[in-house]
Chains A and B, each alone.
Chain A
Amino acid sequence: MRWWDLQRNFNHTTIVTVEKVIDETPTVRTLVFSDDVMSTVLPGQFAMVWIPGVNELPMSIMISKDSGKAAFTVRKHGLASTGLFNIAVGEKIGIRGPYGNAFDVKEGKLLLVGGGTGLVPMMRLLTSVKPTDDVTVLIGAKSKNEVFFEDLANELLKNNSHNVIISTDDGSYGEKGFVTDIVEKLVNESHFDAVYTCGPEKMMYKTVQSAHSRGIFVQASLERMMKCGVGICGSCCVGEDLACKDGTIFDGNHLSKNTEFGYSHRNKAGILEDY
């Protein structure tokens, strides 16, 4: 026996078979697979996912109802994500990780703000809340046919005092308007002990501002162009921070001093571009 057989080398690509595909919306799918390591990761951690012959991309690790299983929820967007979206039951993907830090889960009255597939770490975070916590989940989408995980959030919080709010930009479902306006309203109206957010950067930026300016503990999970995922290539830097190794989760105190958060990100060549 070799030493690396005794303990899995998390950086080494492990091949898993997709066992179930769930259509969440016309453009979003959840792919379920068996893997003990990925099934027990901390809320906010991610994996590098290899789509053989296509690409490899960072994905937040989605929960599964079955023990020993995990999932990836992907929106088809570019070449890599569309490649993952098109993986059928029985096909194989490679995974390495888990990577990154985790949300610091506080107790009390919590607000979770997610947009699109940014809801994935929010769902895993819901599995870490205490029964005594009062949890508000705010789900933002452009329109009704892009809303997903509403039922799942309610299911995960069935033993908690909770509120799942949907907002759509066009008002076709739930409240009409931008998520960030509702965040501002919520934190104005009542006291929250912590706010967590993942989704489009402008949404996170305003959410962090709303919470941090009122002294509320807030954390956001950042997304950047990522190549290696292990702190070598430097592609995912945000100012002096590396999203893969220092994050992907940063708190409001830290983010308020970072001049790139909310404004700019780097492209594949490393050139700074505005959001």
Chain B
Amino acid sequence: MASSLTTSIGKIQLDKPAMLASGILGISLDVFNRLYRSGAGAVVTKSLSNEPWEGYPNPTIFSVNGGGWINAVGLSNPGAPNFAKMIESNQNVPIIVSLVGSVPEDFEMMIKEFTNCKVTAFELNLSCPHVAKVGLEVGDDPELVKKIVTTVKNSTDTPVIAKVGLGTTNYLNTVKTAIDSGIDAITAINTVRAMAIDVETQRPILSNKFGGLSGTPIKPIALRCVYEISSKYDIPIIGCGGISTWEDAIEFFLAGASAIQLGSAIGDNWINVFDDINNGILQYMKQKNYSTIDEMVGLAKKF
């Protein structure tokens, strides 16, 4: 029996289940093409805003001893209009466009910019933990989530994903609000709000003081969230958070994710990580006699 890496996240069909997470390497179409050639099933862009953002001054990233990164890049991005122009020529790469904004109109305007682009899905960033008035501050406000998701769903026929994270509101309520407002899928989770202080100079290291923790330390938390969402709601899930090996990927499938996203693992293991994980998943499937990823999704919930 032949095993296949293809997967569906609701209406979204991908040839391979590991995609590039938002915020990572997502500036040039040339890099997207390279990632696609290297085994990424899709690439999620940096979160785009209406206007270009420079982000925070350096230091914007910190390596935690024992594993993981804390970043406060500050959602630097060229702005949706510039970005849309850049990817107009794209034919091959499944691109998921991540959007960030404060009000429904921000998202509506940005989606119009992509009318002439081949876009696989939009991912709404409702969970960035280090920029004011957007991200988590939006995700923590159920009324705003409802308005944004409803508006976005009315503005496009392209599938829409909500990326949730751990804020002050129970994230399961944010997920429910998004589902009730018509969302097509959920990405869980974003980085977790964190900080680092240098003991020698006695000051916070990141220029923004607070950033988001990513990498292996948050993997068990992300896995728990995917399991909880999948146990409670009938919605396609993309697992994200500290995944760095094929075993991690399988864990997320078993918890209920249909696809996964990679971020920090690229910094640690570079671009080959996509093929390494794809190959590992395929070996596991052959060994366990699975022909599709879908056969594995959510299996751990039966215990």
Contact = CB atoms under 8 A, between A and B. Distances in A.
B65 A12 contact: yes
A232 B266 contact: yes
Interface centre among B24, B57, B58, B63 (most CB of A within 10 A): B58
Interface in A15-67: 15, 48, 50, 52-53, 55-57
Given A233-B73, A270-B77, A245 B58 contact: no
A269 B53 CA distance: 5
Contacts of A2: 65-66
Contacts, number: 129
A215 interface: no
Contacts of B62: 13
Nearest to A8: B65
Given A269-B53, A270-B46, A15 B267 contact: no
Contact of B63 (A9, A233, A266): A9
Contacts of B69: 232
Contacts of A87: none
A111 interface: no
A235 B76 contact: yes
A227 B73 contact: yes
B54 A268 contact: yes
Given A15-B198, A52-B198, A269-B54, A234 B26 contact: yes
A174 interface: no
A242 B57 contact: no
Nearest to B54: A268
Contacts of A124: none
Contacts of A232: 24-25, 61, 69, 71, 263-264, 266-267
Contacts of B198: 13, 15, 52, 94
B92 interface: no
B55 interface: yes
Given A52-B201, A232-B25, A271-B82, 10 more contacts: A13-B62, A13-B198, A55-B207, A227-B55, A235-B27, A266-B28, A268-B76, A269-B55, A270-B27, A270-B46
A231 B102 CA distance: 29
Residue in A3, A52, A245 with the greatest tally of chain B CB atoms within 10 Å: A52
6 contacts: A12-B65, A15-B201, A52-B203, A234-B46, A269-B77, A271-B82
Interface string A240-275: 101001000000000000000000001111110000
